[in-house]
């Protein structure tokens, strides 16, 4: 499969012959005139070319090709080369030499580019066995630390485990994990039970051959670190992180999370066939996609001076990022669900009826079940009929709902009380929907956010890769985003409150820049869209009914300036939380009504 | 503009290379250049490992240092149940005897860890061929001449046997009547699997394997629980088997066939049905992964033309609007009934 987009005509600009100078910190002193970024996913590889314009960067072309990390290609670099060749074809610009090597930096003749950066999610997750003392204490914290990277939990040992030591050893041998993550014991707390578990791990790990032997990450009671090091000996690679649960009341996930991410890079990304060639092209370290998305979301939170949520519904995983100024950015990656090969896992997590309830028209359960399994076998395929589109979107809703549950479990003491400023939407199922309003509605259904916030979509699939670039070329990344790399969808107003269907929830007066006035009353239980095109802004007066609150108190009026987008101004007056009617016909009619409410 | 697409190999006569790998580290037995028969073991490893832990220091009330001095066996030694492990000395020569048959695997903090005698997992060649490479501790690469059909799903098992086509047509359901012949030790070919009880009857009839075009989703767990391998060539549902595949399997009646499953944790390696044949000069490795070209035979794998086969007659240079309003790059496909339809590249499977 190939999708290509030419943003503008090529006008290959002369670039200095010298390489962008690098400081010792790795930041360039001269911003690149042009750069390529790549996002290597488990199904597709997307490459985009950016060029410096007058005071910004513009997206010149973007190509998406099937991943070549798998058979019959088995070389992830081939996909990038193919995509770059297609960009060269589209733009008429020579980007690679005859050997297929990237020309970098750009030459005076206009060939080549100055920089290349890539993010990777094509590698399988880090298979992990968790070990801790108590399920709700050390194991819970260890899980939260693991959620910041592409990991898959295979088993967990704790004091509550009724299995014998021999059975636990058997589990290690059978599962052949990449990592055994050991937490447990507050600093200065329990030691002996933890050391017994370490004995079990040692035997299990040594039972595996050198090539299959797992790494061990210890993030527990610091008092036993050295004894653990001695017990595991030289033949087991031990990593030590700060205690994820230094006391019952406190949690410290950052250090362990970072080590898990480093292990993912070292054990999984670097094992991808052809990855070395990508590294050689790139002047910057290759980053896991989720980590790069977290970085760019943090940037947006600083820029907006508010809370930003990014959602990436990928083929093999779901990523949520939440960032707010002066708060630690939180990343939650779920690697056992996605819209590609792991899609069938949704049937193990949710009853099929939970998926079918989101369909605006009836579908046989068996047909839906067959579809889900076929999609797992053919993960790259796209819907071209209405029933299959609606079914994919229904599955996406439940996959995301599952991840939201995981996220809430992972983010205790969340920032939900902070108003949301921006919702970033990524992942092909969402960004390739026929109308972006469908994906916005999908996320409003799942997240049920409240307040007044903007929404933007990563339609070109460049956001994480720009995040990777931002660490080294911040100006280029920022100006690329400002230059239209994202599609602004518009704004959403979602009041909190409960009422009766038909009751007024919100009175709105919208005055656009050209003095056009629009006055509407939105009823409780409905969702409406007011037209406001991209590039336009309007003054909007919001008068909620006394039982409704748009963020300034129940019944409190507020005038705000909002900006338009591909969808417009969406008024979600369905209340929070809203539930779907149990009756099939009533529910389907309501879903159709909501869909029409955002433009179909 | 090149369009890369996924592909399925359906080759009547080709040269096939297939890795045969153990699930973990083990011993590779076959040698490079060796001709192998289906039943030949090419590599083996210890199977399910059971460990027995003997708390020697605790039982004998001695220190770990003392234990190491008095231990009568060394790591790697095989012992029989009742064999003396530790001689404590002294009056009556007290000691500790082995509670199991096994190998002393480790001595950890005063505890003796025994690996109980393990059964070996033997990796068989499954097909007549030649070893062209050895992969250290893991297995071999076999080269086989014959027919090769890439399947889309397998039940996690593999096997070999003699082909017997039981279905009259490529979309005929697997029915009890198809088990009336002598199907013992046969690998049956059928159109689609729609009933659980026939899968169970096939087990009782002693079939060695089952190849179907499709299987209903709710029967996947039943197929996975069957003692014999179940291979699906086209997909999940009631679509049946691609006519080309059915015809090739029909023509291979009574020939030996190998069913190679998709190795767990090895993304992208598909299950394969291989029918060894005599080598014919010129037969070569098929070139999958090449760009789509006009004239290429393809299968459409999504509605509304799902499982229809056709030929590419035009590659669109610009993205087209699909019936749902999205835009997609694609190709015009001439179906077998003469109709020309547009299909997104993403929904095409090149047949090689």
Task: Work out the percent of chain A whose per-residue pLDDT is above 70.
Answer: 94
Tell whether B265 and B186 lie within a shared domain: yes
- What's the mean pLDDT in A414-419? 61
pLDDT higher than threshold 60 for residue A29: no
**CA of residue A487 relative to chain centroid, distance:** 17
Tell whether B216 and B141 lie within a shared domain: yes
pLDDT higher than threshold 70 for residue A1: no
Q: Do B269 and A71 touch (CB under 8 A)?
A: yes
Tell whether B126 and B108 lie within a shared domain: no
The CATH number linked to A108 is 3.10.20.370
Residues A130, A138: Cα–Cα separation, whole Å: 10
Tell whether A135 and A258 lie within a shared domain: yes
Q: Which of A243, A269, A295 delimits the end of a domain?
A: A269
**CA of residue A50 relative to chain centroid, distance:** 22
- pLDDT tens column, A247-304: 989 999 999 999 999 999 999 999 999 999 999 999 889 999 999 999 999 999 998 8
B162 DSSP assignment? E
pLDDT band at B265 (very low <50, low <70, confident <90, very high): low
**ipTM score assigned to the predicted complex:** 0.90
Where is pLDDT greater, at B94 or A80?
A80
A484 DSSP assignment? I
Find the closest chain B residue to A434 by CA distance.
B326
Q: Do A370 and B236 touch (CB under 8 A)?
A: yes
pLDDT band at B23 (very low <50, low <70, confident <90, very high): confident
The CATH number linked to B344 is 2.30.30.140
pLDDT band at B120 (very low <50, low <70, confident <90, very high): confident
What is the Cα gyration radius of chain A? 25
Partner residue opposite B303 with nearest CB, options A3, A199, A388: A388
Question: Tell me, what's the pLDDT at A493?
Answer: 97
The answer to whether residues A383 and B324 touch, using CB atoms and an 8 Å cutoff, is yes
Question: Tell me, what's the pLDDT at A407?
Answer: 79
A144-167 core/surface letters (b: 16 or more CB in 10 A; e: else)? bbbbbbbbbbbbbbbbebeeebbe
Tell whether B161 and B310 lie within a shared domain: no
pLDDT band at A408 (very low <50, low <70, confident <90, very high): confident
Residues A188, A224: Cα–Cα separation, whole Å: 9
The packing angle between helices A192-206 and A165-175, to 10°, is 40
- What's the mean pLDDT in B18-31? 90
Find the closest chain A residue to B26 by CA distance.
A209
Tell whether A62 and A155 lie within a shared domain: no
- What's the mean pLDDT in A581-600? 96
Q: Do A385 and B303 touch (CB under 8 A)?
A: yes
In a 3-state reduction of DSSP, which class is residue B88?
A: strand
Q: Do B302 and A383 touch (CB under 8 A)?
A: yes
Tell whether B178 and B308 lie within a shared domain: no
Tell whether B319 and B191 lie within a shared domain: no
Task: Work out the percent of chain B whose per-residue pLDDT is above 70.
Answer: 95
Find the closest chain A residue to B287 by CA distance.
A72
In a domain, A200, yes or no: yes
Tell whether A265 and A135 lie within a shared domain: yes
Where is pLDDT greater, at B216 or B108?
B216
Angle (CA) A494 A320 B328, round 5°:
85
- pLDDT tens column, B164-186: 999 999 999 999 999 988 899 99
pLDDT higher than threshold 90 for residue A326: no
Residues B136, A236: Cα–Cα separation, whole Å: 21
Question: Tell me, what's the pLDDT at A293?
Answer: 97
B322, two tokens: 């699909």
In a domain, A256, yes or no: yes
Residues B13, B19: Cα–Cα separation, whole Å: 19
Residues B279, A134: Cα–Cα separation, whole Å: 62
Question: Tell me, what's the pLDDT at A206?
Answer: 86
The answer to whether residues A6 and A61 touch, using CB atoms and an 8 Å cutoff, is yes
Residues A441, A17: Cα–Cα separation, whole Å: 48
Q: Which of A1, A169, A269 to mutate to test the interface with B (most CBs of B within 10 A)?
A: A1
Q: Which of B276, B305, B321 delimits the end of a domain?
A: B276
State yes or no: cis peptide before B352, omega within 30 of 0. no
CA distance between the termini of chain B: 21
pLDDT band at A147 (very low <50, low <70, confident <90, very high): very high
Q: Which of A90, A120, A150 delimits the end of a domain?
A: A120
Tell whether A95 and A146 lie within a shared domain: no
The 3-class secondary structure across A302-360, one letter per residue, is: HHHCCEEEEEEECCCCEEEEEECCCCCCEEEEECCCCCCHHHHHHHHHCCHHHHHCCCC
Tell whether A87 and A199 lie within a shared domain: no
In a 3-state reduction of DSSP, which class is residue A135?
A: helix
Tell whether A159 and A232 lie within a shared domain: yes
A230 DSSP assignment? H
Q: Do A381 and B25 touch (CB under 8 A)?
A: no
Ramachandran angles phi, psi of A399, nearest 5°: -65, -45
The answer to whether residues A528 and A504 touch, using CB atoms and an 8 Å cutoff, is no
Residues A394, B35: Cα–Cα separation, whole Å: 53
- pLDDT tens column, A346-386: 999 999 999 999 999 999 999 999 999 999 999 999 999 99
State yes or no: cis peptide before A105, omega within 30 of 0. yes
- Within 8 A of B105 by CB-CB distance, chain A residues are 203, 207
pLDDT band at A8 (very low <50, low <70, confident <90, very high): very low
Angle (CA) A331 A334 A336, round 5°:
170
> Bridge partners of B349?
B6, B299
- pLDDT tens column, A151-206: 999 999 999 999 998 889 989 988 999 999 999 988 888 788 899 899 999 989 98
CA atoms within 13 A on the CB side of A294: 22
pLDDT higher than threshold 90 for residue B163: yes
Tell whether B15 and B151 lie within a shared domain: yes
Count the helices and strands in chain B (H runs, E runs). Answer: 5, 28
How far, CA to CA in Å, does B336 sit from each of A81, B6, B248, B310? 35, 21, 18, 6
The answer to whether residues A476 and A50 touch, using CB atoms and an 8 Å cutoff, is yes
In a domain, A444, yes or no: no
Task: Average the pLDDT over each of A372-386, A466-480, B140-154 and give the range with the smallest value.
Answer: A466-480
Tell whether A204 and A75 lie within a shared domain: no
Question: Tell me, what's the pLDDT at B252?
Answer: 97
In a 3-state reduction of DSSP, which class is residue A48?
A: strand
Residues A416, A408: Cα–Cα separation, whole Å: 10
Element (H, E) at A247: none
pLDDT higher than threshold 70 for residue A410: no
Partner residue opposite B344 with nearest CB, options A199, A384, A435: A384
What is the least distance, in Å, from the CA of B269 to any CA of chain A? Answer: 6
Tell whether B138 and B226 lie within a shared domain: yes
Question: Tell me, what's the pLDDT at B267?
Answer: 64
Tell whether B255 and B334 lie within a shared domain: no
Pick the closest to residue A335 from A41, A2, A103, A51 (CA basis).
Answer: A41
The CATH number linked to A176 is 3.40.50.360
pLDDT band at A9 (very low <50, low <70, confident <90, very high): very low
How far, CA to CA in Å, does A387 sit from each of A371, A372, B95, B324, B348? 11, 13, 74, 10, 19
Strand B230-236 versus strand B209-215 pairing type: parallel
In a domain, A103, yes or no: yes
The CATH number linked to B166 is 3.50.30.10
A143 exposure class (CB count in 10 Å sphere: 0-12, 13-18, 19+): buried
Tell whether B37 and B161 lie within a shared domain: yes
Element (H, E) at A169: helix A165-175
Question: Tell me, what's the pLDDT at A245?
Answer: 94
pLDDT higher than threshold 90 for residue B290: no
In a domain, A399, yes or no: no
CA atoms within 13 A on the CB side of A152: 19
Question: Tell me, what's the pLDDT at A20?
Answer: 39
Q: Do B304 and A385 touch (CB under 8 A)?
A: yes
Q: Do A1 and B4 touch (CB under 8 A)?
A: yes
Domain limits for position A208: 126-269
Question: Tell me, what's the pLDDT at A516?
Answer: 87
Instruction: Give me the number of domains chain B comprises.
Output: 3
Q: Do A4 and B329 touch (CB under 8 A)?
A: yes
Q: Which of B116, B141, B165 delimits the end of a domain?
A: B116
- What's the mean pLDDT in A60-88? 93
Neighbours of A247 (CB within 10 A): 12
A268 DSSP assignment? I
In a domain, B19, yes or no: yes
Average pLDDT, whole number, for chain B? Answer: 91
Ramachandran angles phi, psi of A353, nearest 5°: -60, -30
- Within 8 A of A46 by CB-CB distance, chain B residues are none
Ramachandran angles phi, psi of A164, nearest 5°: -75, 165
Domain limits for position B61: 51-116
Where is pLDDT greater, at A209 or A511?
A511
In a domain, B286, yes or no: no
Q: Please report, to the nearest 10 degrees, the dihedral formed by the alpha carbons of residues A455, A461, A462, A467 taken in order.
A: 70
Find the closest chain B residue to A71 by CA distance.
B268
Neighbours of A561 (CB within 10 A): 9
- Within 8 A of A85 by CB-CB distance, chain B residues are 2
Q: Do A1 and B152 touch (CB under 8 A)?
A: no
Tell whether A28 and A59 lie within a shared domain: yes
In a domain, B93, yes or no: yes
- Within 8 A of A382 by CB-CB distance, chain B residues are 302, 326, 328, 344, 346-347
Tell whether B33 and B60 lie within a shared domain: no
Question: Tell me, what's the pLDDT at A416?
Answer: 53
- Within 8 A of A77 by CB-CB distance, chain B residues are none
Where is pLDDT greater, at A408 or A98?
A98
A240, two tokens: 């030590």
Q: Name B329's Cβ contacts closer than 8 Å, sequence gap at least 6.
A: A1, A2, A3, A4, B3, B316, B318, B319, B320, B344, B345
- Within 8 A of A2 by CB-CB distance, chain B residues are 1-4, 329, 345
- pLDDT tens column, B38-75: 999 999 987 767 888 898 998 998 998 999 999 999 98
Token pair 């599955």: residue: A395
Question: Tell me, what's the pLDDT at A16?
Answer: 36
Find the closest chain A residue to B1 by CA distance.
A86
Tell whether A214 and A152 lie within a shared domain: yes
Q: Do B236 and A389 touch (CB under 8 A)?
A: no
Question: Tell me, what's the pLDDT at A12?
Answer: 28
What is the Cα gyration radius of chain B? 27
Question: Tell me, what's the pLDDT at A339?
Answer: 97
Pick the closest to residue A33 from A47, A44, A18 (CA basis).
Answer: A18
CA distance between the termini of chain A: 27
Question: Tell me, what's the pLDDT at A548?
Answer: 95
Tell whether A104 and A134 lie within a shared domain: no
Tell whether A162 and A185 lie within a shared domain: yes
The 3-class secondary structure across A89-103, one letter per residue, is: HHHCCCCECCCCCEC
Q: Please report, to the nearest 10 degrees, the dihedral formed by the alpha carbons of residues B67, B69, B71, B77 taken in order.
A: 120
- Within 8 A of A377 by CB-CB distance, chain B residues are 152-153, 235-236
Q: Which of A72, A89, A120 delimits the end of a domain?
A: A120
Instruction: Give me the number of domains chain A comprises.
Output: 2
- Within 8 A of A124 by CB-CB distance, chain B residues are 265, 267
**CA of residue B11 relative to chain centroid, distance:** 19
The answer to whether residues B223 and B230 touch, using CB atoms and an 8 Å cutoff, is yes
**CA of residue A279 relative to chain centroid, distance:** 23
- pLDDT tens column, B73-86: 998 899 999 999 99
Tell whether B85 and B145 lie within a shared domain: no
Question: Tell me, what's the pLDDT at A122?
Answer: 95
Find the closest chain A residue to B47 by CA distance.
A174
A445 exposure class (CB count in 10 Å sphere: 0-12, 13-18, 19+): buried
In a domain, A95, yes or no: yes
Question: Tell me, what's the pLDDT at B181?
Answer: 84
Q: Detail the DSSP E strand segments found in A107-198.
A: 115-120, 126-131, 151-157, 179-182
Tell whether A185 and A162 lie within a shared domain: yes
pLDDT higher than threshold 50 for residue A2: no
Q: Which of B242, B276, B310 delimits the end of a domain?
A: B276
- What's the mean pLDDT in B217-240? 97
């Amino acid at each position: 499969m190939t999708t290509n987009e030419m943003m503008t005509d090529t006008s290959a600009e002369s670039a200095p012959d010298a390489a962008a100078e690098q400081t010792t910190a790795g930041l360039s002193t001269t911003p690149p005139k042009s750069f390529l970024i790549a996002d290597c996913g488990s199904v597709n590889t997307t490459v985009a070319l950016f060029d410096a314009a007058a005071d910004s960067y513009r997206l010149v072309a973007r190509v998406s090709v099937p991943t070549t990390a798998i058979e019959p290609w088995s070389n992830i670099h081939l996909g990038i080369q193919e995509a770059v060749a297609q960009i060269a074809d589209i733009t008429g610009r020579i980007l690679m030499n005859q050997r297929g090597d990237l020309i970098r930096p750009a030459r005076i003749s206009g060939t080549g580019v100055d920089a290349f950066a890539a993010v990777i999610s094509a590698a399988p997750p880090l298979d992990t066995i968790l070990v801790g003392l108590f399920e709700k204490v050390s194991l819970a914290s260890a899980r939260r630390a693991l959620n910041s990277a592409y990991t898959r939990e295979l088993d967990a040992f704790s004091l509550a485990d009724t299995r014998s030591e021999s059975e636990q050893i058997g589990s290690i041998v059978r599962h052949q994990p990449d990592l055994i993550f050991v937490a447990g014991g507050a600093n200065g707390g329990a030691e002996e039970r933890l050391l017994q578990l370490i004995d079990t791990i040692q035997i299990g790990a040594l039972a595996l051959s050198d090539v299959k032997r797992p790494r061990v990450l210890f993030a527990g009671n610091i008092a036993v670190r050295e004894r653990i090091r001695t017990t595991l000996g030289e033949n087991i690679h031990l990593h030590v992180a700060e205690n994820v649960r230094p006391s019952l009341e406190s949690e410290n996930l950052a250090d362990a999370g970072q080590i898990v991410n480093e292990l993912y890079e070292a054990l999984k990304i670097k094992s991808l066939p052809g990855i070395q060639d990508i590294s050689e092209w790139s002047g910057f370290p290759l980053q896991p996609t989720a980590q790069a998305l977290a970085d760019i979301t943090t940037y947006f939170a600083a820029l907006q001076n508010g809370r930003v949520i990014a959602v990436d519904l990928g083929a093999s995983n779901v990523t949520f990022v939440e960032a707010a100024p002066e708060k630690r950015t939180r990343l939650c990656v779920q690697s056992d669900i996605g819209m590609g090969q792991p899609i069938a896992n949704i049937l193990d997590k949710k009853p099929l009826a939970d998926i079918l309830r989101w369909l605006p028209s009836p579908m046989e359960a068996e047909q839906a079940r067959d579809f889900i399994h076929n999609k797992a076998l053919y993960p790259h395929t796209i819907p071209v009929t209405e029933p299959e589109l609606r079914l994919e979107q229904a599955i996406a809703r439940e996959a995301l709902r599952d991840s939201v549950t995981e996220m809430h479990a992972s983010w205790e003491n969340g920032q939900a009380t902070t108003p949301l400023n921006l919702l970033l939407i990524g992942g092909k199922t969402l960004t390739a929907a026929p109308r972006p309003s469908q994906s916005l509605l999908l996320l409003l259904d799942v997240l049920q956010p409240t307040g007044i916030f903007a929404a933007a979509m990563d339609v070109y699939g460049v956001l994480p890769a720009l995040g990777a670039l931002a660490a080294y070329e911040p100006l280029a990344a920022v100006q690329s985003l400002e230059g239209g790399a994202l599609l602004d969808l518009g704004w959403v107003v979602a009041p909190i409150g409960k009422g009766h269907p038909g009751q007024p929830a919100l009175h709105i007066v919208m005055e656009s820049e050209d003095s056009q006035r629009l006055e509407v009353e939105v009823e409780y239980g409905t969702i409406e869209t007011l037209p406001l095109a991209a590039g336009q802004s309007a003054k909007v007066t919001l008068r909620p009914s006394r039982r409704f609150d748009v963020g300034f108190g129940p019944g409190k009026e507020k005038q705000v300036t909002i900006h338009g987008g591909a969808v417009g101004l969406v008024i979600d007056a369905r209340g929070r939380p809203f539930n779907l009617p149990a009756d099939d016909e009533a529910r389907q009619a309501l879903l159709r009504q909501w869909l029409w409410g955002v433009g179909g | 503009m090149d369009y890369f697409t996924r592909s399925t190999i359906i080759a009547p006569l080709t040269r096939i290379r297939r890795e045969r790998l153990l699930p973990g580290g083990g011993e590779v037995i076959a040698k490079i250049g060796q001709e192998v028969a289906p039943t030949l073991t090419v590599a083996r490893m210890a199977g399910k490992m059971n460990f027995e832990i003997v708390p020697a220091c605790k039982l004998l009330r001695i220190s770990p240092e003392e234990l190491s001095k008095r231990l009568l066996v060394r790591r790697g030694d095989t012992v029989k149940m009742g064999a003396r492990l530790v001689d404590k000395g002294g009056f009556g020569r007290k000691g500790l005897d082995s509670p199991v048959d096994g190998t002393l695997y480790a001595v950890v903090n005063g505890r003796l860890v025994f690996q109980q005698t393990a059964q070996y997992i033997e990796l068989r060649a499954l097909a007549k061929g030649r070893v062209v490479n050895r992969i250290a501790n893991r297995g071999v690469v076999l080269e086989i001449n014959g027919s090769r059909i890439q399947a889309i799903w397998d039940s996690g098992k593999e096997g070999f046997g003699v082909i017997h086509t039981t279905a009259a047509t490529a979309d005929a359901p697997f029915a009890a009547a198809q088990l009336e012949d002598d199907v013992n030790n046969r690998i049956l070919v059928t159109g689609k699997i729609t009933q659980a009880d026939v899968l169970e009857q096939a087990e009782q009839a002693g079939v060695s394997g089952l190849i179907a075009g499709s299987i209903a989703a709710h029967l996947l767990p039943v197929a996975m629980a069957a003692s014999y391998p179940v291979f699906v060539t086209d997909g999940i549902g009631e679509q049946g088997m691609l006519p080309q595949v059915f015809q090739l399997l029909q023509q291979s009646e009574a020939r030996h066939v190998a069913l190679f499953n998709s190795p767990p944790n090895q993304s992208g390696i598909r299950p394969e049905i291989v029918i060894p044949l005599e080598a014919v000069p010129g037969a070569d490795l098929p070139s999958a992964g090449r760009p789509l070209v006009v004239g290429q035979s393809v299968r459409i794998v999504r509605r509304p033309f799902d499982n229809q086969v056709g030929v590419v007659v035009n590659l669109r240079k610009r993205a087209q609007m699909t019936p749902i309003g999205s835009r997609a790059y694609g190709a015009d496909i001439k179906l077998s009934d003469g109709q020309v339809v547009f299909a997104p590249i993403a929904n095409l499977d090149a047949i090689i």
